[in-house]
Structure 1
Amino acid sequence: MPFTTETQPGVSAGVAEATRGFVLNHAMLRVKDPQVALDFYTRVLGMRLLRKLDFPEMKFSLYFLHRSVEGEAVPEDVGERTAWTFAQRGLLELTHNWGTEDDAGFKYHDGNAQPQGFGHICFSVPDLAAAVRWFDQNQVAFVKRPDQGKMKDVAFIKDPDGYWIEIVEPGLLKHLGR
């Protein structure tokens, strides 16, 4: 019998038919300066910008980023690409409320200071040591390096807005939680 779910209190024993086809499409982070955030996520983490949507009447823009799979074809037509974007898994939406980039004192809550809430997003990488070297070369701020703390082989970096990003190499985590 194939694996479907771990059993814990609160976990539904089955999947409701009404949820068939549901996909976790994206998580959203608010960013102070889109140029700085886009540079970090595209240059340092290798994501690609799929679509920018502007909402002038509400004074904000959305940037949908994705890490493409080798050989994946993204539609050129803007309408088709928009529909394709909202059908994907694991996208990152950066939301920019216009004007925040001009306010020197403006800062979003990262979710890890009190009161805690949102914690982090996570990227898996093929080689954790190589990723750490890359982050060092790009002067990325670390919250925790893989050899620090009680949980080894897991790193946490910060993006330009202070959000935490967990960095893991899947093959190093087989012992986690055992």
Structure 2
Amino acid sequence: MHDNFQGEQHPGVEPAPEATRGFRLNHSMLRVKDPEVSLAFYSRVFGMSVLRRLDFEEMQFSLYFLANLEADDQVPEDAAARSTWTFQQRGLLEFTHNWGSEEQEGRIYHDGNAEPQGFGHICFAVPDLHAAVAWFDENDVEFIKRPEQGKLKDVVFVKDPDGYWIEVVQPSLMANMGDA
């Protein structure tokens, strides 16, 4: 490992300005129709825990911040301290639930993969892709692409209850993916 790795260099990449030292991606947000359904899916199928729920009564929405907790994570019990801790983490998923959306018929949010394309997917890394596929089958998860399908072998895509795409990869199978 090289301690001073600054990222791959490509046209358009500039050195990180000193003013950005300490910046990190904390979370990505998905709008969810029914938080109970989405929370059940992400906790049961992907092992995520809710770190914090924030309600905004005047604006009629709630936020849920989810993470895959590690055994050594020391999550504060105090709600205010847990909020601060939550916003210091990496790789969180935020659900936004606009109150009343669960009463609407069908899927109500664009998944980003229909035209016009935009947002594409989130991704989970798993220790054993084939065990994960078996787990998804046991839990009736909807597949977009299984590992043996298409040109990208050993990459899985599934859908969540709102139709968002989730890529699932095994890091050790990614070493020779694409043009190295």
TM superposition score normalised by structure 2:
0.96
Match of 1:38 in 2: 39
The amino acid that maps onto 2:5 is: F
Match of 1:80 in 2: 81
Identity %, equivalent residues? 64
Q: CA deviation at 1:106?
A: 5.0
Q: Does 1:172 align with 2:173?
A: yes
1:36 & 1:110 partners in 2: Cα distance? Answer: 17
Aligned pairs (5 A) from 1:125-136: 125-136=126-137
The amino acid that maps onto 2:135 is: W
3-state SS of 1:50 partner? strand
Structure 1 residues 105-152: Cα deviation after superposition (integer angstroms, max 9, x where no partner): 451000000110000000000000000000000000000000000000
TM superposition score normalised by structure 1:
0.97
3-state SS of 2:25 partner? coil
3-state SS of 1:11 partner? coil
The amino acid that maps onto 1:128 is: L
The amino acid that maps onto 1:137 is: E
The amino acid that maps onto 1:19 is: T
Q: Structure 2 unaligned runs (5+)?
A: none
2:38 & 2:120 partners in 1: Cα distance? Answer: 18
Q: Contact 1:100–1:106 (CA<8 Å) still a contact in 2?
A: no
Match of 1:142 in 2: 143
3-state SS of 1:62 partner? strand
Q: 1:118 to 1:153 in 2, by over 3 A?
A: same
Match of 1:49 in 2: 50
Provide the alpha-carbon RMSD of the alignment: 0.9
Report the number of matched residues. Answer: 177
Q: Contact 2:107–2:162 (CA<8 Å) still a contact in 1?
A: no
